A and B are shown apart, each in its own frame.
Chain A
Amino acid sequence: MKWFYIVAALCVVALALAPLWLLKGEGSDPYPGKIVRWDSYESEVKSVDPATCGDTTSAAVQGNIYESLYCYHYLKRPVEVIPKLAVDMPTVSEDGLTYTMRIKPGIKYHRNPCFGREADGRYRTRTVRADDFVLAYKRCADYHINTGLAWAFLSERVVGIDEFRERTQGIPAKEVERIARIDAWRNSRSATAPPAEVLADLIGIVKWSASLHPPAEISKAFEKIGAWCKAPQGGSSPEIADAFAKIDAWRPSMRGYKKGDFSRYDMPLEGVKSLDELTLQIRLTARFPQLIYVLAIGFDAPIPREAVDYWLATKDDGQGGRVPVPPEDVRTEFTEAPEVVGTGPYILQTRERKSKIVMVRNPDFRLDLYPSEGEPGDANAGLLDDANKPVPFIDVIHWDYVAQEYAAWMRFLSKQTDVGGIPRETFQFVISPTRDLSEEWKKKHIELSVYTRPVIRWIIFNMEDPVVGKSKSLRQALCLSFDVENFIKVLHNGRGIRAVNVLPQSFKGHQEAGPSPYGRLDMEEARKKIEEAKKELAAAGSLVNGQIPELKLDIGDRGAEAMREGDFIRQQFQKLGIRLKVNYNDWPTQQEKLNNKQSQLAEIGWDSDYPDAENFLQLYYGPNIDKQTNNSNYSNPEFDKLYEQVRVMSDTPQRTELYAKMVRMLSEDCPVLLLSEPVSFLLYYDWVKNTKPNPAGYGYTKYHRIDEAQRKAEGGR
């Protein structure tokens, strides 16, 4: 027994001390001699591949690593698109369908194993070519990549891109085997009825063919074969032979590429071409003046083919060589830090999911200068002190994943991070009623940046709903009775401004359209409207016992804040005697309900993709109901006609006037109850220089500068 206790005690000590052996700390100075920016992030970085980037956190990381042809000017407001990897702005053909862009010569990729090694052992690099941009577009169109945002901008707009996508689709191995068996039967004895096995294959193939979405004629041919399978005779009967012949003629276009067959990128993409090594041309199916903004989003960052061949098509064989990746392990997306090959000022050194992101300075980054112009006031704010100096100023960007707001706040306060947000609970202590930093916090060397992003939050009305969709007066009444100012003040610490029409205030068309007549609190008018609503609903047969039935609101969150919002909204509706049931969903469920038109009312919002009113107005375009972007299911032929007119127009006063007209139509019809344009508050220590949040773009950390001496003197990390 004595030995038992000795062994037990030793086990306890060993297990208690095991973490010291298992874990490797960063140490007090993990980046000796480097200027480091310490930061926190609270949402997972979902993608490090430009083709699949679709969330703001991923975009913020990728903005430092990848570069695209264009970007937004760091300091100018309203935001302005400027060349980044392009020499100048694109040359647009007279018909507005062809964009030609010249690429800056000598842009180098990050050094990476995919390029091989130099004689001195360092990894090699190479310069960017127009072909690399073409590959980026091909990857966005690749059937085997779950491209989130990019495809929405390219599909049906770039010549041949949908056809390219069709052709990258693979045929499952099971179906290939079936086809082979059917072919064997047809080649040998198709004059006889097929054996049971082939019959099963035929039935299976007919069923599977629906997933290929073939042309109507081919669908009919498959149907014919399906019907024939029920009472099969010889395959040489004229009717069935004709069906087989049609399918045979179509089959070559059915040839697809398996996931691991990257030779699909050798296929030409009709609408995106490299005219020479440094000239890229994009051809559109219809005018799309907003393309210039799309080119600044970043999904078209150049990707070297070497990276695809090295990191995705092959893997290390353990003896210094590369072997093809087995089919079951094939990936089509770059996910790990060493696989990321960009041209940006930083190289992704570490990506530990839900843990940390580390980006280090790219030693081969070209000469890039801090802007010398900004908006009025920038010079006084010290934002032009570093004008024309080469960037980046910071050597290492270190982000830690901090899920808890409280922990992130404490890290900022204890100067473990240079930048921070403000938790809801402490907001009133930090920010004064005039939206300025309280004196106490200024003494702590903290500075404040207040900015708005082009986002609008609203409650959508399902226009196909028999109650809210049938009564315009009901929608107007609900808008008039909603105390939005209090909503922002009570629930969001005043972090927002009332949205008065469907466009953010910084967009062209917002001022011209003016505020919605129903974007105000007016209970008297609301009560009048509700009486009108009852008449409208009575006519539509939608009243229950002479009363407006209980409405149902979906909120895409189940947290305490969402509950408070639900209660507040219920109270607002109650003012008009309208009962409201609030359903709290997780975000995917909310999205699913919207897509299936199951929501009667839903609290959502729109974060614009680019600073043009078209991006908001497309949310109300009738044909976009099927594309699931028109969540209110608003359908107005007059509006649709105007949208089709404006979406191909260049930026002219006439277009702005049409935008305003469309906004006024929406203001009258009220397909949404407008809530707020959120205002963001960013805190940073005064040793972080050149901080100016950009409402549209990403990748501006290269302009930030940290005064190391000041940070040390003030007790920073």
Chain B
Amino acid sequence: LAQAVLTVLGVMLLSFILFNLIAGDVSARFVNPKLGPKARDAWLEKHHLNLPSVYNPDSHGQFWKKEFWDTQFYWHMRNCVTFQSTSFSTDQRLQDIVAEKARYSLSLTVPAMILGWACALIISSLVAYYRGTWIDRMGVFLSVLGMCVPYLAYMILGQWVMFHVYPPAAWGLRYSANIYVPVGIAVIAGIGGSVRFYRTILLDEINRDYVRTARAKGVSLPNILFKHVLRNCMLPILTQLILAIPYLIMGALLLEQFFGIPGLGDLMLASISDRDVPIVTSLTFLTAVIDVLALLLTDVLYAVFDPRIRLR
């Protein structure tokens, strides 16, 4: 836990150095130069950029005084932790942006992840069980084929088909079920790689003695796969799944743009190109926090699925 806290603090410090100190004065991008130096000063003051970077000499090192904390780094930390960062370009607070748009991103990424995971698991279990047969060969061939086709091609083709079959579902959210078009594309585009990965893991288990014994005892296929094999394969599968969670909230840039989903997909990219420092640093912090929490969760779940693992 202490390591997790240190990691998060490290990210906070690094993002401050990278974006606040190295990026320099970004006021020219947000204040019309024609408005003169006073407008620039007002803007700097509004965003606490007129303050000393890390140490305020006015405080004479007396940390119990308010002045000591009146620094850019203090405001950076405070805004990160409280999610009160305000966008330079739109004056919106990050929490408002996330509250407004996260549900769209999550509506796209969560079903895509969960359906992709479930489908990949079922398909890979089957191809692994029937290893060496035409089912396995066909499964591997389709997986590799699916991995070879670029993601963008799935999107363009999928949208083109939808525009010709049923245009109202090809773009936007006129009906909430429209979301399943990009979800479907994400599942299809990602399933090849997942099937290959899970198949490899499952094969290691399926060739074990206990599976042969179970077969010899006449245990049914679903029981062998889901009761014994899958449980023993859970650790790498869970690791992959949980580590994907932090990225769910950030959305899927291309899918959102192509299908008119007003999510958070382009927030990070647009903020970087706009030099919208508070949003970039806060999103970095948010991702770091979720990432660390996901790793902690993975450690806990390891213990649940594998009784041999215990916290010392």
Q: Which residues of A contact B (CB under 8 A)?
A: 1-2, 5, 11-12, 15-20, 22-28, 30, 46, 54, 143-144, 146-149, 151-152, 155, 165-166, 169, 172, 174, 196, 200, 203-204, 211, 213, 259, 331, 333, 335, 352-356, 400-404, 406-407, 410-411, 413-416, 586, 588, 591-592, 595, 627-629
Is there contact, CB below 8 Å, between A12 and B32? no
Known interface pairs A12-B118, A16-B114, A331-B91. Does A28 touch B33 (Cβ–Cβ under 8 Å)?
A: no
Known: A403-B257, A403-B266. A592 touches B32 (CB 8 A): no
Contact bitstring B24-46, A, C-beta under 8 A = 1, else 0: 00101111111101110111011
- A interface footprint on B62-81 (CB within 8 Å = 1, 0 otherwise): 00000000100000000000
Are the C-beta atoms of B160 and A410 separated by less than 8 Å?
yes
In the complex, per-residue mask of B178-193: 1 if CB is within 8 Å of any chain A CB, else 0: 1110010000000000
Known: A54-B32, A410-B170, A411-B171. 20 other contacts (CB 8 A): A1-B227, A18-B106, A23-B107, A25-B175, A26-B175, A28-B168, A28-B174, A146-B30, A146-B43, A149-B32, A165-B38, A166-B38, A353-B262, A400-B171, A404-B258, A413-B163, A414-B170, A416-B171, A588-B274, A595-B33
A356 to B171, alpha carbons, bound, how many Å? 13
Q: A338 CA to B257 CA in the complex, in Å?
A: 27
Residue B58 interfacial (CB < 8 Å): yes
Among candidates B60, B110, B172, residue contacting A15 with C-beta atoms closer than 8 Å: B110
- Which residues of A lie under 8 Å from residue B266 when comparing CB positions? 354, 403
Given contacts A143-B42, A416-B167, whether A16 and B176 have CB atoms under 8 Å apart is: no
16 pairs, CB–CB < 8 Å, chain A vs chain B: A11-B114, A12-B115, A16-B111, A16-B115, A19-B107, A19-B180, A22-B106, A28-B168, A155-B34, A174-B70, A211-B38, A356-B262, A407-B159, A410-B160, A414-B167, A586-B273
Chain A: which residue is nearest B253 at the CB level?
A: A403
Q: Which residue of chain B lies nearest to A1 when distances are taken between CB atoms in the complex? A: B227
A518 to B173, CA, bound (A): 53
Contact B37 A595 (CB under 8 A): no
Query: Please, which residues of chain A bring their CB within 8 A of the CB of B170?
Result: 410-411, 414
Known: A16-B111, A146-B32, A403-B257. A410 touches B104 (CB 8 A): no
Q: Which residues of B contact A143 (CB under 8 A)?
A: 38-39, 42
B306 part of interface (Cβ distance < 8 Å)? no
Contact pick for A355, options B50, B117, B262, CB 8 Å: B262
CA of A1 to CA of B183 in the docked complex: distance in angstroms? Answer: 29
| Docked CA distance A318–B226 (Å) | 53
- Docked-complex contact A353 and B114, CB < 8 angstroms: no
- On chain A, the residues within 8 Å of B90 by CB distance are 46, 353
Answer whether residue B260 sits at the interface, using C-beta atoms and an 8 A cutoff.
yes
User: Does A401 lie within 8 Å of B30, measured CB to CB?
Assistant: no
Residues 78 to 129 of chain B near chain A (Cβ within 8 Å): 89-92, 100, 103-104, 106-108, 110-111, 114-115, 117-118
A355 to B34, CA, bound (A): 31
Q: How far is the CB of A709 from the nearest CB of chain B, in Å?
A: 21
How distant is the Cα of A146 from the Cα of B29 in the complex, in angstroms? Answer: 12
- B262 x A1 contact (CB < 8 A): no
**Residue from A146, A148, A402 in contact with B171 in the complex, judged by beta carbons closer than 8 Å:** A402
Q: Which A residues lie within 8 Å of B107 (CB)?
A: 18-19, 22-23
A406 to chain B, nearest CB (A): 7
Q: How far, in angstroms, from A294 to B70 measured CA to CA in the complex?
A: 43
Given A147-B32, A404-B258, A407-B260, A23:B100 Cβ within 8 A: no
Contacts of A200 in B (CB 8 A): 58, 60
Could you tell me the distance between the alpha carbons of A155 and B108 in the complex, rounded to whole angstroms?
48
Residues from 215 to 264 in B contacting A, C-beta threshold 8 Å: 226-227, 231, 257-260, 262
- By a CB distance below 8 angstroms, the chain A residues around B196 are none
Closest to A586 in B: B273
- Beyond A46-B90, A353-B90, A416-B167, is A401–B38 a contact (Cβ under 8 Å)? no
Query: B29 — which chain A residues lie within 8 A by C-beta?
Result: 588, 591-592
Residue in B159, B176, B257 whose beta carbon sits within 8 Å of that of A19 in the complex: B176
Are the C-beta atoms of B41 and A151 separated by less than 8 Å? no
Most buried by A among B32, B60, B179, B274: B32
> Is A151's CB under 8 angstroms from B34's CB?
yes
* Cβ 8 A contact of B91, one of A2, A149, A335, A406: A335
**Nearest B residue to A54, CB-CB:** B32
Tell me if B214 is interfacial: C-beta within 8 Å of chain A: no
Where chain B touches its partner, the secondary structure class is helix
User: Closest approach, in angstroms, between the C-beta of B236 and any C-beta of chain A?
Assistant: 17
Q: Would you call B156 an interface residue if the criterion is a C-beta within 8 Å of the partner chain's C-beta atoms?
A: yes
Q: Which A residue sits closest to B114, measured CB to CB? A: A15
- If A401-B260, A588-B29 touch, whether A23 touches B179 (CB-CB below 8 Å) is yes
Please judge, given known A-B contacts A23-B103, A144-B42, A200-B58, whether A406 and B177 are in contact too, CB under 8 Å: no
**Does B275 count as interface, using CB distance less than 8 angstroms?**
yes
7 tightest A-B contacts by CB?
A: A355-B262, A19-B107, A414-B167, A588-B29, A23-B176, A25-B175, A25-B176
**Distance in Å: Cβ of B160 to nearest Cβ of chain A:** 7
Q: Tell whether, in the assembled complex, residue B106 and residue A401 are in contact, meaning their CB atoms are under 8 Å apart.
A: no
Shortest Cβ distance from A208 into B: residue: B50
The interface residues of chain A lying within 8 Å CB-to-CB of B274 are 588
Q: Which residues of A contact B31 (CB under 8 A)?
A: 146
Bound together, the chains give a CA A155 to CA B170 distance in angstroms of 49
A23 touches B110 (CB 8 A): no
Q: B156 is contacted by which of A12, A331, A402, A406 (Cβ under 8 Å)?
A: A406
CB of B60 within 8 A of CB of A627, answer: no
A710→B172 CA distance, assembly (Å) = 25
Instruction: Let me know if A400 and B35 touch, CB within 8 A.
Output: no
B173-A352 in contact (CB<8A): no
Whether the Cβ atoms of A404 and B257 lie closer than 8 Å is yes
Instruction: Give the CA-CA distance A17 to B176 in the complex, in Å.
Output: 10
Chain B residues 144 to 181 lying within 8 A of chain A, measured CB to CB, are: 156, 159-160, 163-164, 167-168, 170-180
Shortest beta-carbon distance from A588 to chain B in Å: 4
**Does the CB pair B45–A23 fall under 8 Å?**
no
Cβ A27 vs Cβ B175 within 8 A: yes
Bound-complex Cα distance A401 to B287 (A): 27
Known contacts A1-B231, A354-B262; decide if A148 and B176 are in contact (CB<8 Å): no
Would you call B118 and A19 a contact (CB within 8 A)?
no
Residue of B nearest to A627 (CB): B34
For the complex formed, measure the closest distance between the CB of A409 and the CB atoms of chain B, giving whole angstroms: 10
Q: How far is the CA of A30 from the CA of B58 in the complex (A)?
A: 60
Closest A residue to B112 using CB positions: A16
Residues of B within 8 Å of A259, CB to CB, are 46
Q: How far is the CB of B33 from chain A (nearest CB, A)?
A: 4
Known: A401-B262, A414-B163. A25 touches B173 (CB 8 A): yes
**Complex interface: chain B residues within 8 A of A46 (CB):** 89-90
Smallest Cβ distance from A554 to chain B, in angstroms? Answer: 15
Name the A residues within 8 Å of B257 (CB-CB). Answer: 403-404, 407
Contacts of B50 in A (CB 8 A): 211
Query: Could you say which residues of chain A place their CB within 8 Å of the CB of B111?
Result: 15-19
CB contacts (< 8 Å) of A16 on chain B: these are 111, 114-115
With a CB–CB cut-off of 8 A, which chain A residues contact B35?
A: 146-147, 151, 155
